[in-house]
Structures are given as structure tokens and as C-alpha cells.
């Protein structure tokens, strides 16, 4: 047992030794329980413990906790230690609560008090202990309690350096939990000027703080650019002896350099030519130094030096304005591609991906194609190979596509399972994007299916079919190729699907050849039939009925297949239905009818490749579009929606057609919604339509330029589509449809910023009574919303009984490492389940009279909140889902409406009369319904809107 | 910003954990288990960086101990390796040729030293001299105080 240093808590050391000597997990648990019992009794005992004992026991508890056991006592004793006048006791107390504190704990107030005392201590060691504790806990309570003390400590002239360092990072931590804590105005320049501080440690700490603040309000902190450049320049030009202990293995201040370079990546290149020139000089010097012989053989030297170099290259890529620097950066990275350090090869591949996206360096990157392909073949670490795949994808263009795709296909055969699916997507995208000859494209995709069929997602084979259907010139070739591919004795099911579909559409193009005559095609396909899943069989049945149309000569054979028990009496309803309907169709329909029903598929509407959207979704933040995809992608903010191309329909069977129409509709619908959302003028403030360019400026801006949050909950009670909520980060659009007691709502979450939202979790719930009245079914969404992207969430709802509350939508996500939370409500009100009901005057009055009981009527008189315009009022009433009945009320000015509310259990009639009084600018609203609560709720809802 | 740092042995025993982003205890255990398994299964010559969820994991082995840090996408991997190295140097200097046992028996010291190097997931002080000075100042305060528990620990308390 090594001697414990310093104060040496022997009891603790003995205990740790005991634990280490335990032969089994059980023995360890036994020993721990014994110790816990002992400590518990000491804490409860009559004998008061002195500080040392408390410290020792608290430390033991901490050790037990760190071993992975739960600790549910000792907090009070730890808090007591905080006010000890012995430093070691205080320190252990702080450590315990930093590790084990529960922010809801009642003790937090006591803790805060102790910290306050220590913050004002004259001993800087105590002050730092307190600051470290605040930073370690970093809760909202802490932020609120110390919102004034810490900024003051940071900029005060009396604060010594070590305390300033801690204060800067402590403030940063609190800013991340509670952004409001940072004061504006005069503080800004004082914080910025910390970059000029004498003490390198202070500058390093302050630099982290400033970067976070810059992200929040770039304009306010613009002044930091020139200071950062001159500081960087001083470091870069200094010799390694100048900076003494801040030189790390002969590299002057690598941490500070990297932070400054990072900070500058928040801004475009400096406008001031002097500053810009100085910055470029720095970057050049860094690139030059990379070429110098190393000052040490130690890996620390090379790591630190290259860390600065990579950060400089990041800045060069970020600025994307100095062709000379970009090309030099590319050459430098090229050298690393063959470096013996795996880490450097990995990072070089990663950085080069970004360089490939710049027009200035794209060509320079392409020079390294050979090396990268070689990396793909020889690297032993899969994560490095993955990077090589990424880079090949990024450097691909029309000139090298065939070769790159070929290499990637080749690699796919031996690729690790973990990256196959992504590779398949990438190959499919490149093949489609750069195909000059579509027969090449078809070959590539069929190769994909052949080699990695399991990893070919639905979208990939949907896509190849869409393209073949849309391009007449490739149809014959496609039919021939799939026919050949199907000859293989063992064929992947995806191949059968593609083959089945293509032959069904274009089999006639190869039927002239006796080797692929209709009967041969049919036998070939049908030989696979029994090995396939239900979905594929269903597809094949559709192919067969298409054959009946294309090749009447094999009709009897096909009818035989339909008639087989395994089809017409299949246990699967879909197969059974198809078999019997197709059979019937083949019997009753005349040739003309058959030809019309089974006409060739019309071309699919051109849209962004659905697979590109999937890749983006799969690899948020890392997918670099091949060069010229960029423009295209910018136009399609809602690529997710565009990607929703639905399945590949079959132009048969009325039911299917209907389905396809519905699919088509949803697609259009979504596009419409996007149109709605993005073309509607921004509401409530000068934020501007969130185009790609604006995203960068909008980030986090709670400042001047930002949009006011919009909350349209009320308005959406009489509209089904629109923007529900909008702030600077996020826009939530809603589109809903209702039929009887059922509703389907789609929420569109649009990330307006230039950063991804992580851990994105919208949770919809019906609290309390509402739970039994409305049932909701919510589809989950991806946990990441990319910068500028939009995700959809589908919610199915059923009205069980009439209700009054709104379902709640609680949205949480991480943005820029800050947890965000929004509490919203879903615009679901009972009138959504209204069916407008038309009736004549007689019926209306009869019903009105029937509902004459006091329980059934709710009346309100209220002041007009909007201009009393007849058209607007009529539109709103219809929007509420009621039928406006004209010419019924003797007074022309009055409005009379009727509707039926559908709930699962019953239907409730609802009638309304709205009487405006123009002189008084008042309304009288009378609602009658067969259920009291409905009348009340409707009058309440309606009264806010006129 | 660093999200967490883990120290574990070749047997997968966790020796030190520092979390700069709050997670419930259950999540912490899950993350730890996942990363310990992943890293221990990697071969020596492999690259020290891993993509892991939305983060990057940087790890390095020193004798029997693995040091593993999770950083954000924009953070610098190479320099994170050097943060680990600086921490190892500090431990080494403080304990005098540090070994796993030092960290087990003096875990609280290991935490105190880490708090001087990193705060809130950011580098606070990179100068070895300055960190050691701060720790020495703490120890000095300690020595001024009488070790009153001394007798008790020898069975007299």
C-alpha cells in the first residue's frame, strides 16, 4: 500500500486496500455495506464528529460512489465541511458536492451561501475553490445566484490572474446553462480586452469565453477580430523561448493559438486590409513552419505543431477566399496522407473533404486520388478507411466519377458491415449524379444489389426504377440487364423486385429475342416467386397481370398462377386480393380495357434524389455534397419532403391506384406546406425569410436583428395550416386534416440556424383529463435536425369525447451545447372534429327550439376585438368548421351556423347565432348544443376571435 | 468543449470520471460501459480518434491506464491528446513517477489537479509550472493545519 500523501487519511487508505483485496464482487459489496453501516451510525451517533472525521467519512462515501454504488446520505455532512476553516476539509466538502450534488436538493441554498462566503475570501485559493465548484455544478440556481459576482470578479483590476482564469471559465459554464447571465454594453469591450492581458493563462481562458459570446452576438463582439489577429501574430512570430512555460515541446502556446484560430472562424475574413494581411502572414508562417525540420522527435512536439496547423487550415477553408493558401493547405495535407502516424492520415483525409468542396482547391485535391484509393485498400483501421470513402465521395466529379465509383464498388465487396449501407448510398448518388450514360448507371446499381443486396435500402431501388421509367433511352438496356442478372441461381430479393418491376413495364422490349421470349421471362421470374417475401410476391403478381396485357399468348399460364391455392387462398389478405382481382380482370376485361388499365407508368416528377436526402439524414454534419450539388440543395430547404417520393406504384388495381394517388397527394401536400411556410412573410419582426444566407446571421440572435417569437395557437383554431411557432432558432409549421372524429396533423420543424440541433425531442402529451378524451399517436422523429433542414412529425388523433384543454408539445434539443426547451400547445380544439351541416330554415328552427334547455345554451356578450367585417367574420366561422346558413335569420346582419361534432362515443349537434351590434361594437353569441360542455367550450373558443 | 474525461484500466475498471455536461447517473454508466468496451477492443496501431454519437472521442493509453476524452465536432483532436499528456505529466510530477495505484489511493488529488488544468470542459491553465504552483499552494495550506486525526487513525480514536 503506497503511503498516502499530504494529510494522509489512513482510515481511507485502509478501506481502499480492503476493497482491492476483495476476491469477489460479493465480498466487495459486503465490505462496502459494512462501511456504509459504520458511517451511517457515526453520522447519526450521539458523539459529535470533528472536522477530520467528517472529512474522512465523506471521502469514503465519495470513493464508494465512484466505485459505482449509490450514495443516499452524507450530503449534509459534506455541506458542513464547506464552512470549515480548515482548507483540506473544505476542499473535500466541495469535491463531494461537485460530484454528487443533486440540483433539486434543499441543500443548494446552504451550498450557495458557503460559496458566497468563500468568493469574498481574501485567500485566492479559497476563491478558486468556490469558482471551481460553481463551474462543476453549473446549474441554473448557480447562474442566478452569481450573475453579478462573477462578471465583476472577471474584469476587476484587483483580481489576481489565477482567479481571473477561473472566473472566465466559470462564467462560460454558467452562460451555457443560462445565456442571460452575461451582461451587455460596457462589459463587452472589457471582456474583449482580456485578449490583451499580460498573462497567457488569462488570455487562454478568456478566449474560450469570448468564442461562446461571439456565437451569441457576433456583431457586438466584432472588435475581438483585430485583437485576436495581433495576439496570434505575436505568438506565431515569437521564438519558442519567448513564452517560457507556455511553450509546449518547442511549440509556442499551442492551446492559445488554436483557440484564437477557432475564434476567427466565427467571422468572414477581416475587411480591414491591414488586419487581413497580418492574418494571412500568420497563416503562411504556420504553413512554412510545417515544412521546417522538427525541433524534437517527440510525438508531443509533432502533435502540438500539427494541431495548430490543422486549425489554421480549418480557418483557411472557412474563409475560402485565398486560392494560394487553399492550394498550399491541400499540398500539406497531401503529405500527411502518407505519413506514418495513423492519426495524421485520419485528420488529413477529414480536412481534405472540406477542401474538396471549395472551388479553389477541388482540382488540387483530385491530384491525390491515387493515394486516397490506396488508403481505401491498405489502411488497417476501419475509421480511417471510412474517412477515405468520405473523401472519395467529396472529390468526385464528372471527370473521375467512373473510376471512383468503380473503386468504391470494388471496396464494397470487402468493406466492413458497419459502413456498407452508407457506401451503397454514396455510390448510388455518385452514379446517378455523374451518369452521362444511363446504361452505366443501371449497371452500377445492379452491381450494388448483387454485391450488397442486404444493404441496399428501398430508396435505392425505388430510385433506379424512377430513372428507368423516366428515360426512354435506357429502358431496353435495363430490361436486358435485369433479365441477365436474374439468371443467377441465387439472386438477392431486391434484384427480384427491380427485375419484376422493370420486366413488367419494359419486358416487351426484349421479348423479340427467343432467349428472352415472354414465356421465358415469366418462367424466370416465377422461379424466384416462392423464395420471396409477401411484399415481393405482391409486386410480382402485378408484374404478371402486366404480362397478361403485354403478352396475351402466356395468359393461360399466368391465370394458372393466380388460381393456385397459395395465391387465391393465401393467408395473406393482400396476396389473396391481388390474385383474385387480377384473375378476374384477366377474364372479364377486353383487350382495350386491359391496355388502358395497365398502361405504361407515366414518368415520375423530377425531384431531388431521394437517396441524397437519406444520406444527409444519416450523416448529419459530415456529409459534404459533391461540388455542384450545393446549389441545388440550397434551393430545396425541405429536402426531406422532396425525398418523400413514396413507393413505386403499379398502375393497376383501383385500390392501389387510389393509394398511389394518396401518396402523390401527400407529397404535393408537403411541398405546399413548405411553400406556405417559406413564402409567407415573416410574422412579427424584421427577421426576414430564412434563406440559407440568413441562417448564419440569425444564429442564436436574441439580439436586435432577431424575429420576435410567434405563437399562432389561437389563430390555428380556425385554420388547419400555418406557422404554429417561430423564433430565431426554429419554425414549427402545422398542416392538419380531419375527418369525422379522426385527425392527422403533421408538424414541420425547421431549423433556421447554421448549426445542427441535437437530441431533438418533441414530446406530445395529453395531460390529466384530456388523456381520456383525446388519444394521440405520435411518430418519432430523428434526433438531429441539420442546419437549415426540416423534419416532419406525424400525429394521429382521435376525439373520444369533447374536451377543453390543448394537448401539449414539449420540445427539447441541444443547440450549440445549450439545452433548449419550448413549452407549446398543439392547435387542437373540438371544432376540428366538426362536420359542417347544411339545413333549411325550418329544420334549423326546429332544432334550435329542441335545444332550448338552459343546460344546452351558452351565451356571451363581448366587445369586438377585430373590425366588424362581414366577409372576415363569415370566413372565420367557416374556418371553425361550421356551415354558414344564409337567409335564415330574419336580421340580415346576424350569422347562423350549424355543425355536428364527431366523437368516438357520440355525435353532438351544435348550432350558433352571432349577432353584431355595430353601434356599440359589441357581439352577442349564442351557442346551443346537445351537450352542455360543448356549448360552453364553443362559446369560449369563438368569443376570442371576433 | 470537452464533455467528459474517463480514466480506466486495461481490465476495464473505471479509475476517474469527470463530467462537464450533466447526465443522469444511469446514462453515465451506460456511456462508460460503451466506451470502455469499444476502446479496449481497438488494436494498438489504430488511430486515436473515434466518431461517437455527435461527439469525437480521443483516447490514449499510458501504461496500464487509458485516458479517454469526448469533445465536440469543432474541437481539435490532436490538442486533446496533448491535454491528456499534460495531465499525465502533472500527475507524474506531483506523485513522482505516477502509477495506477497513486490514482486509486489519492483519487481526490487527481481530481484537484484536473480542476486546475481544465474547468467547465475548457483548458484553464496550460503551464505546468503554474498548475503545480497552485497545487503546492493548496498543500501548503494543508500542512499549516495540524493533522489532528493522526492519533485516531493509529487506533487511538
Give the Å distances, CA to CA, from A713 to A719, A879, A912, A925, A938: 10, 14, 23, 22, 16
How much is the average pLDDT of A158-181? 91
What's residue A51's pLDDT? 84
- Chain B touched by A304 (CB under 8 Å): yes
CA nearest to A82, candidates A64, A104, A101, A63: A101
Considering chain A, what percentage of its residues have pLDDT values greater than 90?
42
Pairing of strands A808-815, A721-726: unpaired
Give the Å distances, CA to CA, from A662 to A228, A409, A418, A731: 58, 37, 36, 27
Residue in this structure with the C-alpha cell 362559446, named with its chain if needed: A939
The 10 Å Cβ neighbour count of residue A370 is 10
For position B41, which CATH number holds?
3.30.450.60
Please classify residue A682 by burial: count the beta carbons closer than 10 Å to its beta carbon, then call 0-12 exposed, 13-18 middle and 19+ buried: middle
The Cα–Cα gap between A935 and A926 comes to 9
What's residue A633's pLDDT? 33
The 10 Å Cβ neighbour count of residue A141 is 17
| pTM over 0.80, yes/no | no
What's residue A838's pLDDT? 86
DSSP code of residue A817: T
The Cα–Cα gap between A727 and B114 comes to 39
How much is the average pLDDT of A794-808? 89
How much is the average pLDDT of A351-377? 91
What's residue A680's pLDDT? 36
Report the DSSP beta bridge partners of residue A859. Answer: A926
CA A216-A219-A222 angle, 5° bins: 105
The Cα–Cα gap between A394 and A386 comes to 12
Report the DSSP beta bridge partners of residue A922. Answer: A863, A917
What's residue A268's pLDDT? 94
Interface probe with A: pick from B22, B125, B133, B137, most Cβ of A within 10 Å: B125
Nearest CB neighbour to A248, from listed B82, B105, B142? B82
User: Which range has the worst mean pLDDT, A387-391, A573-577, A696-700?
Assistant: A696-700
**A342–B45 C-beta distance less than 8 A:** yes
The Cα–Cα gap between A698 and A753 comes to 6
User: Which range has the worst mean pLDDT, A294-308, A673-687, B82-96?
Assistant: A673-687
pLDDT in tens, B71-115: 999 999 999 999 999 999 999 999 998 999 999 999 999 999 999
Residue in this structure with the C-alpha cell 447526465, named with its chain if needed: B23
Q: B147: domain range? A: 2-154
CA nearest to B34, candidates B53, B54, B61, B15: B53
> pLDDT confidence of A618, banded at 50, 70, 90?
low
Specify whether the backbone of A882 is left (phi greater than 0), alpha (psi in -120 to 50) or beta. Answer: beta
Supply A446's cell numbers.
Answer: 445492379
What is the DSSP secondary-structure string of B56-85?
A: EEEEEEETTEEEEEEE-TTS-HHHHHHHHH
CA nearest to A248, candidates A284, A287, A205, A298: A298
CA nearest to B125, candidates A232, A365, A255: A255
What's residue A169's pLDDT? 95
Alpha carbon A185 to its chain centroid, in Å, reads: 34
Supply A520's cell numbers.
Answer: 421465358
Does residue A495 register a pLDDT over 50?
yes
- Chain B touched by A50 (CB under 8 Å): yes
CA nearest to B95, candidates B85, B87, B103: B103
Instruction: Give chain A positions within 8 Å (CB) of B132.
Output: none
Interface probe with B: pick from A19, A817, A818, A819, most Cβ of B within 10 Å: A817
Nearest CB neighbour to A303, from listed B78, B107, B120? B78
What's residue A709's pLDDT? 67
The 10 Å Cβ neighbour count of residue B66 is 22
The Cα–Cα gap between A60 and A62 comes to 5
Number of folded domains that form chain B: 1
- Chain A touched by B34 (CB under 8 Å): no
Non-local CB neighbours of A628 within 8 Å, separated by 6+ positions: A397
**A91–B120 C-beta distance less than 8 A:** no
Does residue A653 register a pLDDT over 60?
no
Helix (H, G, I), strand (E, B) or coil at A744: strand
What's residue A105's pLDDT? 63
Q: Which A positions 744-773 lie with beta carbon below 8 A of chain B?
A: 756, 758
User: Which range has the worst mean pLDDT, A263-272, A637-646, A799-808, B85-94?
Assistant: A637-646
Helix (H, G, I), strand (E, B) or coil at A871: helix
- Chain B touched by A65 (CB under 8 Å): no
What's residue A183's pLDDT? 73
In the sheet with A757-765, reading across from the earlier edge strand, the strands are A757-765, A808-815, A818-825
CA nearest to A264, candidates A198, A214, A197: A214
Structure ipTM: 0.93
- Chain A touched by B137 (CB under 8 Å): yes
> pLDDT confidence of A258, banded at 50, 70, 90?
very high
Q: Which B positions 46-85 lie with beta carbon below 8 A of chain A?
A: 46-51, 54, 72-74, 76-79, 81-82, 85
Instruction: Give chain B positions within 8 Å (CB) of A10.
Output: 149, 153-154
pLDDT in tens, A275-286: 999 999 999 999
> pLDDT confidence of A622, banded at 50, 70, 90?
very low
The helices-and-strands tally (H runs, E runs) of chain B is 6, 7
- Chain A touched by B119 (CB under 8 Å): yes
Q: What is the three-state SS of A428-439?
A: HHHHHHCCCCHH
Q: Say if residues A785 and A751 touch (Cβ distance below 8 Å).
A: yes
- Chain A touched by B92 (CB under 8 Å): no
Q: Which residue of A has its CA nearest to B128?
A: A245
- Chain A touched by B151 (CB under 8 Å): no
What's residue A561's pLDDT? 93
The Cα–Cα gap between A141 and A319 comes to 40
Does residue A624 register a pLDDT over 50?
no
The Cα–Cα gap between A603 and A243 comes to 69
Residue in this structure with the C-alpha cell 410574422, named with its chain if needed: A683
Non-local CB neighbours of A910 within 8 Å, separated by 6+ positions: A834, A882, A898, A899, A900, A901, A927, A928, A929, A930, A934, A935, A938
Considering chain A, what percentage of its residues have pLDDT values greater than 70?
88
The Cα–Cα gap between A476 and A468 comes to 9
CA nearest to A75, candidates A111, A29, A45, A42: A111
pLDDT in tens, A192-249: 999 999 999 999 999 999 999 999 889 999 999 999 999 999 999 988 777 889 999 9
Q: Say if residues A449 and A427 touch (Cβ distance below 8 Å).
A: no
The Cα–Cα gap between A481 and A648 comes to 20
Give the Å distances, CA to CA, from A493 to A426, A461, A479, A498, A540: 21, 11, 17, 9, 11
The 10 Å Cβ neighbour count of residue A149 is 18
CA nearest to A118, candidates A103, A104, A105, A133: A133
Helix (H, G, I), strand (E, B) or coil at A757: strand
How much is the average pLDDT of A66-93? 89
Interface probe with A: pick from B3, B55, B79, most Cβ of A within 10 Å: B79
DSSP code of residue A638: T
The 10 Å Cβ neighbour count of residue A294 is 12
Q: Say if residues A219 and B102 touch (Cβ distance below 8 Å).
A: no
Pairing of strands A721-726, A710-711: antiparallel
The Cα–Cα gap between A421 and A448 comes to 10
What's residue A659's pLDDT? 40
What's residue A95's pLDDT? 93
Instruction: Give chain A positions within 8 Å (CB) of B128.
Output: 245
CA B123-A267-A172 angle, 5° bins: 30
pLDDT lower than 70: segments of chain B: 145-157
Amino acid at each position: 500500500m503506497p503511503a498516502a500523501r499530504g494529510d494522509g487519511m489512513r482510515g481511507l487508505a485502509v478501506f481502499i486496500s480492503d476493497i482491492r483485496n476483495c476476491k469477489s464482487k460479493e465480498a466487495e459489496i459486503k465490505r462496502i455495506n459494512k462501511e456504509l453501516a459504520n458511517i451511517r451510525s457515526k453520522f447519526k451517533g450521539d458523539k459529535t464528529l470533528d472536522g477530520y472525521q467528517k472529512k474522512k467519512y465523506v471521502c469514503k462515501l465519495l470513493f464508494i460512489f465512484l466505485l459505482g454504488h449509490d450514495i443516499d446520505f452524507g450530503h449534509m455532512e459534506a455541506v458542513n465541511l464547506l464552512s470549515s476553516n480548515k482548507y483540506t476539509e473544505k476542499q473535500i466538502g466541495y469535491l463531494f458536492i461537485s460530484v454528487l450534488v443533486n440540483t433539486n436538493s434543499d441543500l443548494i441554498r446552504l451550498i450557495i451561501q458557503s460559496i458566497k462566503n468563500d468568493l469574498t475570501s481574501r485567500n485566492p485559493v479559497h476563491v478558486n475553490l468556490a469558482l471551481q465548484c460553481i463551474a462543476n455544478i453549473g446549474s441554473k440556481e448557480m447562474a442566478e445566484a452569481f450573475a453579478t459576482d462573477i462578471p465583476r470578479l472577471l474584469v476587476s483590476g484587483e483580481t489576481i490572474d489565477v482567479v481571473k482564469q477561473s472566473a472566465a471559465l466559470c462564467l462560460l459554464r454558467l452562460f451555457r446553462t443560462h445565456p442571460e447571465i452575461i451582461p451587455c454594453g460596457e462589459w463587452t469591450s472589457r471582456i474583449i480586452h482580456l485578449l490583451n492581458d499580460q498573462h497567457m493563462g488569462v488570455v487562454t481562458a478568456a478566449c474560450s469565453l469570448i468564442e461562446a459570446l461571439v456565437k451569441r452576438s457576433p456583431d457586438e463582439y466584432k472588435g475581438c477580430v483585430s485583437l485576436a489577429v495581433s495576439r496570434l501574430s505575436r505568438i506565431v512570430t515569437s521564438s519558442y523561448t519567448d513564452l517560457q512555460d507556455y511553450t509546449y515541446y518547442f511549440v509556442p502556446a499551442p492551446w492559445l493559438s488554436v483557440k484564437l484560430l477557432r475564434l476567427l472562424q466565427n467571422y468572414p475574413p477581416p475587411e480591414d486590409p491591414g488586419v487581413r494581411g497580418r492574418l494571412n502572414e500568420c497563416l503562411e508562417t504556420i504553413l512554412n513552419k510545417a515544412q521546417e525540420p522538427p525541433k524534437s522527435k517527440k510525438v508531443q512536439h509533432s502533435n502540438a505543431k500539427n494541431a495548430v496547423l490543422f486549425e489554421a487550415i480549418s480557418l483557411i477553408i472557412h474563409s475560402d477566399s485565398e486560392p494560394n493558401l487553399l492550394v498550399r493547405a491541400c499540398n500539406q495535407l497531401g503529405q500527411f496522407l502518407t505519413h506514418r502516424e495513423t492519426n495524421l492520415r485520419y485528420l488529413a483525409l477529414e480536412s481534405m473533404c472540406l477542401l474538396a468542396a471549395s472551388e479553389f482547391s477541388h482540382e488540387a485535391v483530385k491530384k491525390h486520388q491515387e493515394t486516397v484509393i490506396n488508403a481505401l485498400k491498405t489502411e488497417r483501421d476501419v475509421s480511417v478507411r471510412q474517412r477515405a470513402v468520405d473523401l472519395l465521395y467529396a472529390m468526385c466529379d464528372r471527370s473521375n466519377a467512373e473510376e471512383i465509383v468503380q473503386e468504391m464498388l470494388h471496396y464494397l465487396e470487402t468493406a466492413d458491415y458497419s459502413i456498407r449501407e452508407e457506401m451503397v448510398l454514396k455510390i448510388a448518388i455518385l452514379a446517378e449524379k455523374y451518369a452521362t450514360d444511363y446504361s452505366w448507371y443501371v449497371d452500377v446499381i445492379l452491381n450494388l444489389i448483387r454485391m450488397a443486396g442486404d444493404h441496399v435500402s428501398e430508396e435505392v431501388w425505388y430510385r433506379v426504377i424512377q430513372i428507368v421509367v423516366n428515360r426512354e433511352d435506357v429502358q431496353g438496356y435495363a430490361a436486358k440487364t435485369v433479365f441477365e442478372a436474374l439468371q443467377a441461381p441465387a439472386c438477392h430479393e431486391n434484384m427480384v423486385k427491380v427485375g419484376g418491376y422493370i420486366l413488367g413495364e419494359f419486358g416487351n422490349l426484349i421479348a423479340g429475342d427467343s432467349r428472352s421470349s415472354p414465356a421465358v421471362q415469366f418462367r424466370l421470374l416465377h422461379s424466384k416467386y416462392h423464395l420471396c417475401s409477401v411484399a415481393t410476391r405482391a409486386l410480382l403478381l402485378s408484374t404478371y397481370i402486366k404480362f397478361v396485357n403485354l403478352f396475351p399468348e402466356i395468359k393461360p399460364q399466368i391465370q394458372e398462377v393466380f388460381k393456385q391455392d397459395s395465391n387465391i387462398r393465401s393467408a395473406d389478405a393482400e396476396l389473396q386480393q391481388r390474385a383474385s382481382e387480377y384473375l378476374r380482370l384477366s377474364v372479364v376485361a377486353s383487350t382495350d380495357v386491359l391496355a388502358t388499365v395497365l398502361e405504361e407508368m407515366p414518368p415520375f416528377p423530377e425531384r431531388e434524389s431521394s437517396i441524397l436526402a437519406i444520406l444527409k439524414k444519416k450523416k448529419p454534419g459530415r456529409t459534404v455534397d459533391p461540388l455542384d450539388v450545393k446549389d441545388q440543395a440550397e434551393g430545396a430547404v425541405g429536402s426531406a419532403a422532396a425525398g418523400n417520393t413514396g413507393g413505386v406504384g403499379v398502375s393497376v388495381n383501383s385500390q392501389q391506384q387510389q393509394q398511389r394517388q394518396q401518396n402523390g397527394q401527400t407529397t404535393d401536400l408537403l411541398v405546399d406546406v413548405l411553400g406556405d411556410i417559406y413564402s409567407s412573410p415573416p410574422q412579427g419582426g424584421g427577421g426576414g425569410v430564412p434563406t440559407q444566407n440568413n441562417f448564419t446571421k440569425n444564429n442564436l440572435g436574441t439580439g436586435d436583428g432577431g424575429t420576435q417569437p410567434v405563437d399562432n395557437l389561437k389563430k390555428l383554431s380556425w385554420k388547419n395550416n400555418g406557422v404554429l411557432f417561430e423564433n430565431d432558432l426554429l419554425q414549427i409549421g402545422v398542416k392538419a386534416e380531419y375527418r369525422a372524429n379522426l385527425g392527422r396533423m403533421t408538424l414541420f420543424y425547421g431549423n433556421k440556424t447554421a448549426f445542427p440541433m441535437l437530441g431533438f425531442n418533441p414530446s406530445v402529451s395529453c395531460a390529466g383529463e384530456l388523456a381520456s378524451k383525446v388519444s394521440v399517436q405520435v411518430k418519432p422523429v430523428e434526433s438531429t435536425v441539420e442546419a437549415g433542414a426540416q423534419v416532419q412529425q406525424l400525429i394521429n388523433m382521435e376525439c373520444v369525447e369533447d374536451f377543453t384543454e390543448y394537448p401539449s408539445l414539449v420540445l427539447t434539443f441541444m443547440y450549440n451545447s445549450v439545452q433548449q426547451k419550448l413549452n407549446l400547445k398543439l392547435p387542437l380544439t373540438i371544432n376540428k372534429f366538426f362536420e359542417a351541416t347544411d339545413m333549411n330554415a325550418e329544420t334549423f328552427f326546429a332544432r334550435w327550439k329542441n335545444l332550448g334547455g338552459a343546460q344546452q345554451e351558452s351565451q356571451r356578450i363581448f366587445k369586438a376585438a377585430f373590425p366588424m367585417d362581414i366577409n372576415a367574420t363569415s370566413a372565420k366561422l367557416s374556418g371553425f368548421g361550421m356551415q354558414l346558413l344564409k337567409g335564415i335569420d330574419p336580421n340580415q346582419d346576424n350569422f347562423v351556423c350549424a355543425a355536428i361534432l364527431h366523437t368516438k362515443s357520440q355525435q353532438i349537434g351544435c348550432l350558433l347565432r352571432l349577432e353584431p351590434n355595430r353601434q356599440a361594437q359589441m357581439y352577442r353569441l349564442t351557442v346551443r348544443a346537445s351537450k352542455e360542455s360543448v356549448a360552453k367550450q364553443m362559446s369560449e373558443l369563438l368569443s376570442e376571435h371576433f | 468543449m470537452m464533455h467528459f474525461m474517463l480514466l480506466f484500466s486495461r481490465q476495464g475498471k473505471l479509475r476517474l470520471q469527470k463530467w462537464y455536461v450533466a447526465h443522469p447517473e444511469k446514462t453515465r454508466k451506460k456511456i462508460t460501459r460503451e466506451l470502455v468496451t469499444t476502446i479496449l477492443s481497438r488494436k494498438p496501431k489504430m488511430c486515436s480518434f473515434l466518431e461517437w454519437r455527435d461527439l469525437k472521442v480521443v483516447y490514449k493509453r499510458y501504461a496500464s491506464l487509458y485516458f479517454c476524452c469526448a469533445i465536440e465536432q469543432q474541437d481539435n483532436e490532436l490538442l486533446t491528446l496533448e491535454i491528456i499528456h499534460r495531465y499525465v505529466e502533472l500527475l507524474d510530477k506531483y506523485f513522482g513517477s505516477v502509477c495506477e495505484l497513486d490514482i486509486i489511493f489519492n483519487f481526490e488529488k487527481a481530481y484537484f489537479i484536473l480542476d486546475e488544468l481544465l474547468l467547465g470542459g475548457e483548458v484553464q491553465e496550460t503551464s505546468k509550472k503554474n498548475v503545480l504552483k497552485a497545487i503546492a499552494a493548496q498543500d501548503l495550506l494543508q500542512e499549516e493545519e495540524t493533522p489532528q486525526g493522526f492519533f485516531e487513525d493509529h487506533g487511538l480514536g
